[in-house]
Structure 1
């Protein structure tokens, strides 16, 4: 409703002649409409003029609302109140007209306050969006600096284990950076579209880790927008699970398909990563990635389940949607 009112409001303030001419036209159109409905509205001579007064006050200013009120009262008294074509109305009708004028003036004053409040709120929303975009831009730049430092440190190390750990850390930093990138130009108060974010993330992981193996990463995600902090949590979960499949599910030159499904049942958001590789490892101590997934799921009121996909391995993370939108 607020957005509709914002679109109705004129972009500039018109001159007094144009405002009053437009007000006269609106009242004239209302009078013609009232005349065409004279039968059903015979006992309600002023009814259609109430929205006309509101519209004039909303589109222009309270002065136009006052003018529309007086003009509507005069037109009603002359054309639609007995005796017709005369201003010699009785005391009862005079009281009704006076009450209409009081209501019209009050409505014009309230509408003026409403119109100014809507304009201020609209400007505030634009300012907030601009600040949010600037914050996302600065955060993304800071994360890019951190990522570059990690990359340099990884290149300088000769220990394969250290280099692998730094590469994994760098991937997690990039997950956060991508979420911040999604916030740029956002008009939804800091929300990230999960489908596009996860799709871009998985495409990047596939390009980085598949090497020459024919491995496809396919994403199916419901169209849902979540706060950036939640998007980072979901992105990190997907990053760990897809990375694990790319690194361990397809040894040597083996290929396959990794599917990422994110669906909602109205209560829970379910993130499922399933591959058709060599299957779930047995009796293996959970690594840092698995521990991170469980920690992230717990923070969002969720749980992690692992099962054989026959062939391959399936990991399902169920998140409580009440935690996502809190």
Structure 2
């Protein structure tokens, strides 16, 4: 998306560490000199706009270096414009070099340098926070996987110590389900590089197959998937996976009480305006009457809001449909 591309460009352009003062001021000299040279070459085309090309020069200096470099670029640009590009006789006081445009330029340049410095620091902090969040999620996923592995190993030990075949069979099923949960955790974590686009249908089908596998031999509930062929960003795939996981799990838990059989259908379509629609529908007892959303519903709403979307529920009598709208660029 354009916003993500702009953010990536800004983060790539910004230096990782503060440059030495000499290097910063050398960069200022090069940028301001380049702006002055371009202004000189354009000549008559910019008559009446002596400081126009120096505004982006000041911005670039403040962005790449710091506000001090922006201040220096502002003063240097004003002096160059005053001495070489001002047209005498346009002062509001009459005669001489006009001082008002230079004064306005100085105010704009200094203000822009200060604001750009603040924005630069904010972008840096956001980037650091994003990296810290990613590290925390990786650590959480790693610990969860280890905990599930320990539980699986404990079940295997109990299975080996059991003497009755029925107990061994039950423990084998429990171990298989723990391993499937661990596999689902890996899929939801999403080992995808940031910005990579991937095919959504296969990802969702694999996820739902794992959820359906958890019920094999336990309950007669089918999980069906219909997903349009589309390419989405890896971050969007993870969001969709989390939403589908929560909605399908919610249907499996509450739509079919007393071991009733049924079907859960997952449908994902791409509509006009970069709109992604996720429908999870079951033929169970209907939507829960309780108006207070649980943790899963709050998580789905939060994920949808992050993508500019929303969660709605519709009682089908029988059955319930949960619909999530996401706004995200897709390619067929």
TM-score by length of 2: 0.61
How far apart are residue 83 of structure 1 and its match? 4.0
Of 97, 113, 116, which residue of structure 2 is paired with 1:111?
116
How far apart are residue 65 of structure 1 and its match? 0.9
Of 92, 106, 124, which residue of structure 2 is paired with 1:101?
106
Structure 2 partner of 1:233: 246
Deviation readout 1:88-120 (Å, 9 max, x if unpaired): x95671122122112211211222222122112
The reply to whether residue 24 of structure 1 matches residue 24 of structure 2 is no
Q: Is the 8 A contact 2:244 2:280 kept in 1?
A: no
1:39 partner SS: helix
For residues 34 and 220 of structure 1, what CA distance do their matches in structure 2 show? Answer: 59
Structure 2 partner of 1:282: none
Q: Is the 8 A contact 1:73 1:100 kept in 2?
A: yes
Q: Is the 8 A contact 2:184 2:210 kept in 1?
A: no
Of 66, 69, 73, which residue of structure 2 is paired with 1:61?
66
For residues 52 and 72 of structure 1, what CA distance do their matches in structure 2 show? Answer: 9
Q: Is the 8 A contact 2:71 2:110 kept in 1?
A: yes
2:278 partner SS: strand
How far apart are residue 131 of structure 1 and its match? 0.7
Distance 1:157 1:129, change over 3 A: farther
Superposition RMSD in Å:
4.9
Distance 1:157 1:49, change over 3 A: farther
Of 258, 266, 278, which residue of structure 2 is paired with 1:269?
278
For residues 207 and 12 of structure 1, what CA distance do their matches in structure 2 show? Answer: 50
For residues 327 and 108 of structure 2, what CA distance do their matches in structure 1 show? Answer: 46
Alignment of 1:1-326 (within 5 A): 1-83=6-88, 90=95, 93-150=98-155, 156=162, 158=164, 170-181=175-186, 182-183=188-189, 195=201, 197-201=203-207, 221-222=227-228, 223=232, 224-226=237-239, 229-233=242-246, 262-264=267-269, 265=271, 266=275, 268-270=277-279, 319-322=322-325
Q: Is the 8 A contact 1:172 1:236 kept in 2?
A: no
93-102 or 133-142, larger mean C-alpha shift: 93-102
Distance 1:324 1:19, change over 3 A: closer
Deviation readout 1:144-188 (Å, 9 max, x if unpaired): 23334445556747465x766666655554443223224165677
Distance 1:267 1:220, change over 3 A: closer
Distance 1:32 1:220, change over 3 A: farther
Structure 2 partner of 1:247: none
How far apart are residue 76 of structure 1 and its match? 1.1
For residues 214 and 144 of structure 2, what CA distance do their matches in structure 1 show? Answer: 23
Q: Is the 8 A contact 1:133 1:185 kept in 2?
A: no
For residues 115 and 145 of structure 2, what CA distance do their matches in structure 1 show? Answer: 45
Deviation readout 1:212-266 (Å, 9 max, x if unpaired): xxxxxx98745443266435336759999xxxxxxxxxxxxxxxxxxx9853254
| Structure 2: gaps (5+ residues) | 1-5, 217-223, 254-264, 289-293, 298-311
Q: Is the 8 A contact 1:194 1:226 kept in 2?
A: no
How far apart are residue 46 of structure 1 and its match? 0.9
Aligned length: 270
Q: Is the 8 A contact 2:141 2:189 kept in 1?
A: yes
Structure 2 partner of 1:253: none
1:109 partner SS: helix
Distance 1:128 1:204, change over 3 A: closer
Deviation readout 1:181-215 (Å, 9 max, x if unpaired): 24165677xxx9965644555787999999xxxxx
Query: Based on CA coordinates, which of the two structures has the bigger radius of gyration?
Result: 1
TM-score by length of 1: 0.62
How far apart are residue 34 of structure 1 and its match? 1.9
Distance 1:120 1:198, change over 3 A: same
How far apart are residue 36 of structure 1 and its match? 3.1
How far apart are residue 4 of structure 1 and its match? 2.6
Deviation readout 1:279-316 (Å, 9 max, x if unpaired): xxxxxxx9xxx89xx9xxx97666899xxxxxxxxxx9
